[in-house]
Every structure is written in C-alpha cells, then in structure tokens.
Amino acid sequence: MSEPVLFSAYAPGRVELLGNHTDYNEGVVLGAAIDRGLTVCGSKRADGMILIESSTMGRLEINASALRPLAENRWANYVLGVADELSFPAEGFSIEITGDLPAGCGLSSSAALELATALFLLKLQQRTLAPMDIAKACQRAEHRFAGVQSGLLDQVTSLFGRADHAVYFDARTEEVRTIPFPKGLALVIAESGEKRELAKGDYNARREETRAAAAALQVRALRDVTSSELSKRTDLPDLLQRRARHIVEENERVWRALDALAAGDGAAFGALMNASHESSRQNFENSTPLLDQLVSIAQQLPGVLGSRLTGGGFGGATITLCEQSAAEAVAAELSRRYSEASKMTSRVMVSRIADGAR
C-alpha cells in the first residue's frame, strides 16, 4: 500500500504598524508580515474524517460531512471554517500544525492558520484561487466559525507580505501595495503576557460602536469623515465621538505615514505610532494597563522612535520601531524593565519583515 502524498503550506504572522480597527470601517492600514508563522502539513484520507493535530493545542477528529463551529476546541474552528468555506470534498484529510507563532498575543495566529489551511487544501484539490479571494474566504470562515467579525487586514498582510516592505491595504478599494521599509530600522515585538480572546465580544462591540457612529454622522463609513469635520459635530454622544475620532485620525495617520515611508523618515513614522497608541488608550479603549506599560517603557529607551499596541488590542503585544543598531539592547532592556515593573514574563523579540504565505 503506497504512502499518502504529503502537502504543506506556510503562513506568517503579522504586525499592524498603523491603522487600528480601520479595515472594517472601509479605511486604510499599514502592516507587515513577520518572520514567525505556522505550517500545515498533511494528506488526503478516504474515510470521511478530518484529523487536526497540534502539539500546543491538542488533537481533534470530526466527520468531514458534518462541519460545524465547535463550542469546545475552538482553536480548530479556524481550520474547519476554511474547509467548509472551500467546500472541501467529504473524503477528509489529516493535518499537523507546527510553527513558532504564539497564539492570542496580537500577531494574528488565527489568520496564519486560516491561510496555511486554505493553501494546503487548494493544493490538495489541485485548485487555484486569486489571492484576494483566498483572503476573503478565510475572513468569512472567521466570521462564521470563530464568531469574530474581523476586517481583512490580517489575511491580506499575511498573504501579500514581502520581505523588507510594509503592506498598504485600502479596505474600500481593495488596493494592496508593498512599500519599501526604510533601511537602518528594526521592529521589536513584546508580548504583554495578557492573552487576547477577541471572540469574547470586545472586538465585535467596537465594530458595532463605529457602525453606530457612522450612522449618526450619516455617512457610509467613518472613512468618509475628516478630523476637521468630526470636530464640528458636537451632537454625538461622547462614546461615539471618541470611537469615531480614533478611526478617522487613524486613517489620516496612515496617509501621513505613506509620505514618511517615501521620505525614509523613521522619526516621523515613529511619532505617528506614538499618537496611534495614545488614541487607542483614550479614544478606542482597546489598550490595557500592561500594554500601556510596555509602550511607556519602550518610548523611554535610547534608539526608540515609536511604540504602540499591535492588532485588535485588549491584551496581546506591542510593536516598537527603533534604530537597527539599538534593537537587541532595546529588546533586552524592555524585557527586563517590564518584568520588574509588572511581575509578568514577557517574550520580547527583534522581528524581521518577511515574505507572505506560500
């Protein structure tokens, strides 16, 4: 009896550089794929079962003809949702998930798992899909099976990532551009030790609040409002005013960041990151005391240009822009000072901007 043919696919995690919660508001985002990710490796099987194994998450077997969101083993919903979205035939498959991308810390392990699964299943079926269609299938899987009403930032950045380039994504026009990142700069990722569980409702609540703000302003999306226009609207409830201000000004920060990247101006880019975090803290309230502590410590270190939370917030990680020559010292000192101040152990890593899924 011949051995089953093995296929594999890899997708990286991502950092959101600027553009916090703007994607589902038809706005613009800057992200980057990182040099940590997940690999899905496996084969077809003929018994109609799906087997998913992970050394960190566990083992699950389910009938391929009865795909449904699971209340337990929720981590497997990212795989099952993609299989359902791609209408995978009922013969089933076995996969093993490996990698060095931690879950629940704001680096988009969920999107990496979705994309690696999608590319694996397409290879298994000898099918092709346009990259944006793959990203959208993964997003729909996250909506339907994981219950997180996410935008497309995570999937697009992981899929279209390019080494030493930022990924610019316009969620309204679906334009994707890769933009050279200035030389001599480095990114330092710091985990707060506070796990994020977006499916618990904070993320979806912010989505509803920004939608309500757009409705109150009588626009299709907050993309259609400028900060000067918003400042004249004193009729919005305070909560909606602050939520709208965050999104409107985040879009403007992304557009200004494009000029900073074109000029190779790391200091200007870092200042925009600092402003973004302050808005997350005050206006969007998706930061936490531990994230604030990481950002505050980083901003005081020599060679640091800017720091902010990355991704959805409510825990997770921060991203710090610094001079490349100072990166290792920044990472070590940030880890030391944070552990001392918070009594939490933080994994802090210098990250390279890497290629996307393959």
Q: Which residues are catalytic?
A: 154
Q: What is the DSSP string of 149-210?
A: ---SHHHHHHHH-BTTEEEEEETTT--EEEEEPPTTEEEEEEE-S----GGGTHHHHHHHHH
DSSP 281: I
Instruction: Please state the φ and ψ torsions of residue 31, each to the nearest 5 degrees.
Output: -135, -175
Instruction: Please state the φ and ψ torsions of residue 256, each to the nearest 5 degrees.
Output: -70, -35
> Residue with structure tokens 């899929």?
159
d(CA 290, CA 191): 10
Nearest to 20 by CA among 183, 257, 236, 265: 257
Structure tokens belonging to residue 347: 């994994």
CA distances from 75 to 79, 97, 103, 110, 114 (A): 8, 11, 9, 8, 11
Q: What angle do CA 90, 92, 98 make, to 5 degrees?
A: 150
Strands (E), 55-175: 58-63, 92-99, 165-170
d(CA 226, CA 247): 10
d(CA 326, CA 192): 21
Sheet of strand 304-310, all strands in order from the earlier edge strand to the far edge: 304-310, 317-323, 185-191, 348-351
Structure tokens belonging to residue 55: 């050394």
Residues β-bridged to residue 348? 190
Q: What is the CA radius of gyration of the chain?
A: 20
Residues β-bridged to residue 168? 30, 177
